Every structure is written in C-alpha cells, then in structure tokens.
Amino acid sequence: MAENGQKPETVTATIDGQEVQVPKGTTILEAAEGMGNRVPHYCYHPGLSAPAQCRLCLVEVEGAPKLQPSCITAVQDGQVVYTESEKALEMRKGVLEFYLMNHPLDCPICDQSGECKLQDYVFAEGRKHGRSREPKRVFGRDDFGGDVLFYGDRCVMCTRCVRFMEEVEQKPLLTVVERGSRSVIDTFFEQGLEEASFGGNVVDICPVGALVSKDFLHKARAWDLDHTPSVCPNCSQGCNIELHTRDNVVQRLKPRENPEVNGHWMCDYGRHRYEWMNRGDRVEAPRVRRDSGFQAVGWKEALTELRGRLENVSGPVKIVASPFASNEDLAALAALGRTLPGESEVVFRSPRADEEIELPGFSKLKRRKELSPNKKGAEILGMSRVGDDSGSGGLDELKDHRGVLLVLADELADQDESFGAHAELYVYLGSHPTRAASAAHFVLPLTTFAEQEGTFTNFEGRVQRFWPGLQPPGAARPAWLVMGSLTARLEDGEPPTRTGDAFQRLAGLAPEYEGLEYERLGTRGAQVNEPARLPGG
C-alpha cells in the first residue's frame, strides 16, 4: 500500500503478448487473472497464504532456468511471461494426470460435479486417457463434525482447509497426517469442526468434492442452481452472499466476495438460516375483515377501502416496524405515518445474541450481536427500539390502543388473538400468517427480501443492494410499493413504480442518504454520506 497519499510503485511486464502494469509485489497469477487470462491452480486462494505446493500454476518466464510457480512469483519490470506455452501446457497435463492416478471417477454422484476445478481443468487440458495400472488409494468418508463431510479419496491435498482453520479462523482443528501417498486431512482425535463458527467456509474453498455440506448433500446439481447476489439477513454485519435457488426454493447460501464487509467468508449461523424463505404458509392475497370474517379481495379494492378508512380516522397513530424490512420499505412506512393526521410513533424490535463471534484472521467480519440486517437503517429513519434481547415484549401499551395501528413485517409471535382488538383501524402487512393479525381490519401480503430488490444498511452504515432470487406467491407485493401507492392516494401524488424511486425518497426522510444513487451502489455498496463511485471514479 502507498503511504502519505502517494501512488503505489508499479512494474510493467508482458504476459502472453500483452503488456500489463501492476502494483509492485503483485504475483504473476494475480496479474494474469486480472487481465482475464486463466491460470489453473489449487492451493492458491486470495484469502489465504500461498504454499506453492500443487505445482499446477507453473508458467514459463523468459530467462528463468525452469518453470516458475505463478502464485508466489512477483511480477518484475521487463519480465516476459507465457502461461499457455508448450512447456507450461505439457507440465499441467502431467500434473493433472498425477492427480487422477488416485482420484475416484465418481463425478456422477459427487456434489461438486459442475463446479469442480479438477473436472474443469482435465476437460480443458488433461490427457484423453489415463495410463495408470495401479489400484487407486482408498480412504473412505469421514464426518468432520458440524456441517462438513470429508471424502478422502477425492482430496488433492491443496491444504486450503487446513490453512483456513489456522490462518483465518485461527482454530487449528484440521491437519495433514501421514506422508507421501498416504497423506490425508484429519481432525485432532474427537475434536471436530462442530467447535468452529466459520467451518462451512472450508466447503466453499475446497476445489474438488473432498469437503461437502451435509445440508446440501445430494440436494441439487450445481448447473441447475440459479445464483442471485444478495445480503445475509441474519445479523447486522451484512455479509455479501449469493442465493442459490432451484424450482423457486432456496437450496443454500454462499458467501460473495466483498473486501469491505466479509472478504470471502461468512459465518455458519448465517449460512444455515434460510429455510424460513421456503415456508409455504404465506399470505397470498389482500384480506379485508367483514361482518362474516375475512374476505380475499384485489389490491385496488383493498387500497381504495383502506384509503377511505384512513381519511376518516382521528385517533393517534402507532406503528410497529421491523429491522428485517428493507430501507425502502421502512421509508415508505415512515412516509405513510407522516401523511396521517396527528403525530405517529414508530417502534421496532430486534433480537440480540449474547456475544459477538469474530473471525480473527479477517477482523472486519463478525457474527454481530444484532441479529437483524437493518437495525441501523431503522435508527437512521428515526425509529425507536423496544422490547428485550429476544426480540419480544415492548408492545404492552399497544394491546389496548384505540387509534390507528400499523404493523409491518413483525410476526408478533409473543402476542395473541386479542392484539389490536380495540384499535379504530388495525392494518397488518406481512408475508406469513400470524394469530396476532386475527383482529386486523386489513391483512396485506408482502414479499420477503428474497423475492424483491432493495437495500439494507449494515452496522457501520454501508448501504448494500440485494436482488430477487424467488418468485413471490399470489398477490404478494413489496411493502414500499403497497405503502407508496397508499400514500400517493392520500396526497394525490405519484406513487413510486421502481425500487430506485423508492430508494431516492430516503434522502427526503434522512439526510444521511443524500448523494447516494441506487443504480450506482453496485454489488459492493457505499457508506451513508459517502456517494458511491464508479470504478476509476
């Protein structure tokens, strides 16, 4: 890194006939991949040390007596490098043949099939036929604890998993035992990965099918999964993730690289809390309470009737929000509250953990105490937190509230059927049914964050976008669209029709969001009061 604001010293080299200028200290592998040239490798990972032991990334450098490991060889001024020379290709073909000597040919039943680096490399550059006549070594399967299974026969001994536990989580729970062809990854006696809080990352970084997830085992083929960039909703860290979906069901969560938030990693707590996104008990249509009970109606009828009710209410307005809702949803809720007569009070409840769980080797990443993704956004918009650390309580005074009561995305699990029974008007907006909505006059169906696009604001004020990975059920709609339409009807204004429009209205409610542009947040996000910059800007 450059000091005192000076530009970093650079070096210029030629890689595969193309001149490239990179900061001094950049490795050949990083420089080549930065310009779009793929260099096969196993042991190298950008978040770990490089032992240069897989010997697959060797490249030809003019003047060097032999091929050089590109993962640890720094680019030098005037250097001429060939990653696809005859020598380099022949070397890779030999190394791949060596790996296949003992690797089982079980691609049809391997979970990694379709995203396996050995599979990809052999298909692109390997020998057409193997020559080994010796029996393959057999290690079998081992349960490493936690969510991790180990298939020793498939291991290529890249040691990424060992180095992750030693360098990043800094709990050396894995090691290499034996030597030579008998080498195998193992745990220390009965001490397995159940003691790790970030152990699932070893599955992500395994380049073959040696380490697999018990949760994902035989669920789906990699090529059948749709990948959607998103943000983890399970704590205020705001880890960048991908939703991996198939048949409109979330199959797994995977970390998405962002050096400003979570690097290449995510915690096991967030990784395995996704099944609620697949719940089938959903509110699918607007419902209005009549004399004979709830009646399903269309959105136009529901909003028209609700508008008429809101124009004639006179009591105080109490609003319960949720820190699991997006910035756009919370802003629309706040705007609606300001439109109604009299002062409105907005509160929210947020669960808290007993302690933070940190990742020592990447200090920016922790499983935060706040177990909701948008507590910061709710606070910036002036909403007050109530209740205890379990996310319950704090609503006792609302049980007998006689004015207007609005509830957004809080399932009110600690409340019973009598909640809101005395309210002049009780509107519940949510994605799942709850007994506490039994007395509501209107129950309006919402999408979850996995079914809409929008933003969360994490613990340090970084605003980050997420995208829809699932199709919403029935007539469910984003809360910002529902409440924006309702506010527009009350004010005779124009409702927001795009998420970007709803986002831009944030600045009118909270100056912290001024200067931010929705389209320019990209996949990395930007700090509040720090406009997002385009690459090179």
Strand partners, 142: 150
Tally the C-alpha atoms within 13 A of residue 191's C-alpha that lie toward its C-beta.
8
Cβ atoms 226, 469 nearer than 8 A: yes
Cα-trace Rg, the chain: 27
Size (the chain), residues: 537
Closest CA to 446 of 332, 350, 353, 316: 332
Q: Which residue has the tokens 């690459």?
A: 535
Strand residues in 333-492 grouped as ranges (E): 344-348, 357-358, 366-367, 384-385, 404-408, 425-430, 442-445, 454-457, 462-466
- The whole-angstrom separation of Cα 495 and Cα 505 is 11
Strand residues in 352-491 grouped as ranges (E): 357-358, 366-367, 384-385, 404-408, 425-430, 442-445, 454-457, 462-466
Listed as ranges, residues in the chain with pLDDT below 70 are 1-5, 532-537
Task: Give this prediction's pTM.
Answer: 0.93
Cβ atoms 169, 264 nearer than 8 A: no
- The whole-angstrom separation of Cα 148 and Cα 153 is 15
Q: Which pLDDT belongs to residue 533?
A: 57
- The whole-angstrom separation of Cα 17 and Cα 446 is 55
Strand partners, 443: 287, 428
Q: Which pLDDT belongs to residue 180?
A: 86
Query: Which structure tokens are listed for 182?
Result: 């008998």
Cβ atoms 465, 471 nearer than 8 A: no
Q: Which pLDDT belongs to residue 4?
A: 57
Where would I find the H helices in 285-326?
Answer: 299-310
Instruction: Please give the share of the chain, as a percent, with pLDDT higher than 90.
Output: 87
Q: Which pLDDT belongs to residue 532?
A: 66
- The whole-angstrom separation of Cα 70 and Cα 281 is 53
Q: What secondary structure does DSSP assign to 17-58, as a single string? A: TEEEEEETT-BHHHHHHHTT-----SS--TTS-----S--SE
Closest CA to 480 of 462, 457, 465, 500: 500
Q: Tell me which DSSP letter residue 154 carries.
A: G
Q: Which pLDDT belongs to residue 531?
A: 75
| Domains defined along the chain, listed by start | 10-93 (3.10.20.740), 101-224 (3.30.70.20), 287-527 (3.40.50.740)
Query: Which structure tokens are listed for 213?
Result: 């997830």
- The whole-angstrom separation of Cα 114 and Cα 153 is 18
